[in-house]
């Protein structure tokens, strides 16, 4: 087994001198023959600090089974007074990144591994539960949402708590939101008791029923699905999706095509649309 290409980038962005309210100010790109990933962030109009964090890691392994792709992507949106939101989201992505690499990626490097270890969704679920405990114990009043996506071969596994989101965007198909917000309004919409339009204007639209580090328990949303090549995976915080409609997200991605341009355009659009909250967009071309 040969590790053909291995790119590591971990990014927990915090407030720095060049961060200005409402400006997109950081972007980066990882290139890979098959998986390209980029991200961009902005503070939004209300905040002077960044409570969003992210993590990205990709690799392509040449094995006897053929080429195998691996990717781990996280976006978290912290909450809490003082610096607690920043600390909580940073802790969430850092712990999840480490957990996934240790439990999923490292075993992939072992030749002739007999699989029988923890299934991917259980790894992600257990990671979320451990992080929930960790934030509860270590960061008073801190909390975070998080979406983590792990690509192994053709299958994308997602775990998610709160209202950060994952979307799949493909040429010739409608944008697909693959996470379901753990919010009161989303439940009301799912049950047909409220329209999407009503939900957008509902005063309690940001009420989460689960968040890492908050409340007695969390029950992560879990999903595994096959993904086609050339699809785009977008992970984003509510700073993006609250102000940029899904159709516009799709149009921006398919118009730009290059991941670094996409993330820049998405975040700029959010800021132009009056994003109050921190904005994070992480895009991987699979």
Partner 1 sequence: MRRYLIQDVIGSGGMGAVYRARDMHFPNAVKLVAIKEMVSSTNDPKVNQMMIKNFEREANLLVTLSHPSITSIYDYFSIDQRAYLVIEYVYGKDLERILDRLTDFIPEDQVIKWAIQLCDVLDYLHSHEPEPIIFRDIKPSNIMINRQGNVVLIDFGIAKTFQIGQKGTIIGTEGYAPPEQYRGEATPSVDIYALGATLHHVLTRHDPTIEPPFTFEQRKISSFNPGVSRELVAVVEKALSYDASDRYTSAREMKEALIRVGHQTGLLSGIDALLNRTPGADLSLARAIDPSSDQLIKPVWTFRSEDEIRGSAVVLEQDVYIGAYDNNVYKINASDGRFVWKFPASGGIVSQPAVNNGTLFFGSEDGKVYAVRCSTGKEAWSFKTGGPVRCSPYLAEDHVFIGSDDCNLYALTQAGGRPSWKAETMAPIRSKPYVTDDRVVVANMNGELLCTDTAGFVKWRFSAKRSILCSLAIDDDGILYFGSLDATFYAVDAKTGWPMWRFRMDKGSVSSPVIDEKFVYFGSADGKVYCLNKSNGKQVWASTFSSQISGSPYINKTHLFVGDAQGLFYCLKKDSGEVEWSYQTGGPITSAPVSYNELLIFGSADKNLYALSI
What does the binding site for partner 1 look like in residue numbers (CB under 8 A)? 64-65, 68, 114-122, 152-155, 157, 182, 184, 187-188, 191-194, 204, 209-210, 215-217, 219, 221-226
Cβ of residue 141: shortest distance to partner 1, in angstroms? 19
What CA–CA distance (Å, rounded) separates 113 from 225?
Answer: 23
What CA–CA distance (Å, rounded) separates 151 from 161?
Answer: 18
What CA–CA distance (Å, rounded) separates 271 from 274?
Answer: 5
Nearer to partner 1, 4 or 187 (CB): 187
Cβ of residue 237: shortest distance to partner 1, in angstroms? 21
List Cβ neighbours of 24 (8 Å cut-off, separation of 6 or more): 40, 41, 42, 264, 267, 268, 271, 279
Nearer to partner 1, 141 or 219 (CB): 219
Structure tokens at 194: 């409220």
Start-to-end Cα distance in the chain:
22
Cβ of residue 253: shortest distance to partner 1, in angstroms? 23
Nearer to partner 1, 48 or 155 (CB): 155
Structure tokens at 130: 């451990």
Angle at which helices 120-138 and 84-100 cross, to 10°? 150
Cβ of residue 201: shortest distance to partner 1, in angstroms? 13
CB atoms within 10 A of CB 245: 14
Residues in the chain, overall count: 286
Cβ of residue 156: shortest distance to partner 1, in angstroms? 10
Nearer to partner 1, 21 or 118 (CB): 118
Structure tokens at 17: 């001198």
Cβ of residue 202: shortest distance to partner 1, in angstroms? 8
Nearer to partner 1, 160 or 261 (CB): 160
* Cβ(43)–Cβ(284) below 8 Å: no
Nearer to partner 1, 81 or 116 (CB): 116
Using DSSP bridges, classify how beta strands 143-152 and 155-161 pair: parallel, antiparallel or unpaired.
antiparallel
Instruction: Please state the separation of Cα 174 from the chain's center in Å.
Output: 20
Cβ of residue 272: shortest distance to partner 1, in angstroms? 32
Nearer to partner 1, 129 or 188 (CB): 188
């Amino acid at each position: 087994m040969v590790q053909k290409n291995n790119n590591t980038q971990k990014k927990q962005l915090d407030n720095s001198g060049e961060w200005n309210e409402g400006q997109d100010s950081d972007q980066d790109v990882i290139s890979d023959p098959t998986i390209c990933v980029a991200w961009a962030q902005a503070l939004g109009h209300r905040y002077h600090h960044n409570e969003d964090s992210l993590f990205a890691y990709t690799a392509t392994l040449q094995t006897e089974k053929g080429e195998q792709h691996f990717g781990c992507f996280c976006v978290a949106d912290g909450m809490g007074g003082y610096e607690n939101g920043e600390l909580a989201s940073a802790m969430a992505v850092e712990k999840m990144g480490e957990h996934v690499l240790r439990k999923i990626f490292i075993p992939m490097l072992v030749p002739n591994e007999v699989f029988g270890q923890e299934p991917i969704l259980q790894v992600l679920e257990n990671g979320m539960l451990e992080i929930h405990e960790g934030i509860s114990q270590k960061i008073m009043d801190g909390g975070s949402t998080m979406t983590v996506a792990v690509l192994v071969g053709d299958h994308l596994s997602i775990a998610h708590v709160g209202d950060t989101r994952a979307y799949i965007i493909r040429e010739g198909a409608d944008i697909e939101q693959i996470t379901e917000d753990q919010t009161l309004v989303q439940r009301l919409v799912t049950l047909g008791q409220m329209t999407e339009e009503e939900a957008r204007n509902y005063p309690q639209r940001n009420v989460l029923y689960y968040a890492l580090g908050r409340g007695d328990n969390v029950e992560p949303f879990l999903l595994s699905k096959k993904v086609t090549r050339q699809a785009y995976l977008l992970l984003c915080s509510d700073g993006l999706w609250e102000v940029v409609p899904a159709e516009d997200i799709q149009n921006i991605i398919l118009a730009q095509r290059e991941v670094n341009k996409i993330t820049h355009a998405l975040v700029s659009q959010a800021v132009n649309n009056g994003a109050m909250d921190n904005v994070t967009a992480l895009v991987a071309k699979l």
